[in-house]
């Protein structure tokens, strides 16, 4: 379940040329599972129709003309109590400055005055209006009043001027809200995540590896950070961009992965081992390239070190999470791994390229196996799967009241 699922969002739309983007915002919020109600100011009706917003939100648009008795019927209070979040997008200079000074001269502004939860605004205005001293002073007031300002962006405006004042694009607005709404369920916890494949060299030009892209591990690391944890990633060779403001240590072989984990593990509370670490590696590395010939060749493999088993057996105060990508008998194999390796949790999935699940895909479908429960998570984006996994981990950490050793983050 995503962080915005079932949230009541009141979308305020003011009179900016960027008002047409409210349609995209409404559509995206619905896809996130939100209940959306749009409130339009009189001037916004010049830029977007009620019909468009109603068809996308699934709810009747609330405007001044259609609600002449709103204030007398206390609908502004009802809407303020209904909403979990207010998003004013686009937010004009006029409405921004009005909001900063507590003015309530229309429906949207009175709803904001009566609202006791989080308000987000996405400013859209000319650069000179944004840079105006009065506007800048009011921006400080809004920040002090715990109103979240998203953007604006720098760029060319409809009038031809260049500078700050362009409304942030809808996708970034939604992501910003999601990031802010995530609760700090892992605040104070230190989470070590392994991600990606390992490469086991055969000769100077060949190695043995697997299809792991590292996407699941990186999404778990990002989600854990958003939930308040200090996170470090130990990553095998991947083509992903480094995660901003996160400590990442890159390794290549399973031995390097083992050494990196063991040299870091004592300062962490949770180990989430998403990495597809090679179970076997060549017994002998050939210093010279194997040359093509008419004969078959035979390469002997030896067992690699089992990193997560080593951690679980050595540190009973560290919460260990393993991953099991299977091609058959998922439940049986995952439960066996949970018990045999004495883990706190195993995340199991069927690796299926045809269904575009797991490994290189952006989607996954997993089952969470722990000592207490089994939870099936339907197909979803890996970012959403990551969040759901971490919510279960957080709940189990709380219910277990595990003794988590406080260590200074170096």
User: Which residues in 15-161 belong to E strands, given as ranges?
Assistant: 35-40, 62-63, 85-91, 118-123, 148-149, 153-156
Whether the bond between 152 and the residue before it is cis, its omega within 30 degrees of 0, is yes
Rounded distance between C-alpha atoms, residue 96 and residue 126, angstroms: 13
Kindly give the residue spans of alpha helices, DSSP state H, lying in 286-358. 307-314, 330-340
Catalytic, 91? Answer no
Strand, coil or helix: 15: coil
Give whole-number Cα distances, 197 to 46, 251, 274, in Å.
54, 10, 9
Catalytic residue among 34, 91, 112, 159: 159
Pairing of β 345-350 and β 319-326: parallel
156 burial level (CB within 10 Å; 0-12, 13-18, 19+): exposed
Calculated CA dihedral for residues 211, 217, 222, 224, nearest 10 degrees: 160
CA atoms within 13 A on the CB side of 105: 8
Element spanning 303, H or E: strand 301-303
Catalytic residues: 159
């Amino acid at each position: 379940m995503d962080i915005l699922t079932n949230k009541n969002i009141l979308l305020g739309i003011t009179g900016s040329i960027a008002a047409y983007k409210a349609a995209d915002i409404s559509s995206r919020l619905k896809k996130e599972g939100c209940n959306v109600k749009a409130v339009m100011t009189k001037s916004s009706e010049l830029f977007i129709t009620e019909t468009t917003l109603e068809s996308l939100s699934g709810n009747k648009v609330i405007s001044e003309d259609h609600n002449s008795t709103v204030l007398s019927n206390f609908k502004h209070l009802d809407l303020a109590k209904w909403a979990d979040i207010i998003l004013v997008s686009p937010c004009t200079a006029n409405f921004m400055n009005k909001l900063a000074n507590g003015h309530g001269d229309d429906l949207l502004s009175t709803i904001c005055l009566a609202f006791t939860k989080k308000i987000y605004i996405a400013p859209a205005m000319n650069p000179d209006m944004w840079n105006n001293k009065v506007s800048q002073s009011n921006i400080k007031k809004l920040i002090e009043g715990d109103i979240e300002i998203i953007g604006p962006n720098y760029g060319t405006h409809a009038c031809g001027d260049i500078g700050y004042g362009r409304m942030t694009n809808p996708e970034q607005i939604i992501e910003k809200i999601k990031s802010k709404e995530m609760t700090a369920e892992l605040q104070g916890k230190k989470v070590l995540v392994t991600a990606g494949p390992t490469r086991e060299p055969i000769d100077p030009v060949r190695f043995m590896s697997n299809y792991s892209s590292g996407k699941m591990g990186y999404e778990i690391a990002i989600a854990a950070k958003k939930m308040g944890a200090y996170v470090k990633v130990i990553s095998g060779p991947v083509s992903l961009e480094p995660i901003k403001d996160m400590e990442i240590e890159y390794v290549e072989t399973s031995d390097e992965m083992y050494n990196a984990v063991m040299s870091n593990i004592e300062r962490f509370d949770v180990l989430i081992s998403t990495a597809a670490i090679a179970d076997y590696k060549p017994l002998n590395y050939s210093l010279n390239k194997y040359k093509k010939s008419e004969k078959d060749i035979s390469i002997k493999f030896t067992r690699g070190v089992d990193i997560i088993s080593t951690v679980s057996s050595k540190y009973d105060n560290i919460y260990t999470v393993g991953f099991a990508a299977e091609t058959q008998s998922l439940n049986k194999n995952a439960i066996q791994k949970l018990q045999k390796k004495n883990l706190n949790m195993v995340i199991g999935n069927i690796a299926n390229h045809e269904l575009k699940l797991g490994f290189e895909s952006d989607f996954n479908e997993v089952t969470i196996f722990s000592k207490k429960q089994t939870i099936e998570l339907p197909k979803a984006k890996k970012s959403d799967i990551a969040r759901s996994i971490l919510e279960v981990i957080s709940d189990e950490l709380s219910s277990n009241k595990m003794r988590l050793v406080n260590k200074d983050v170096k």
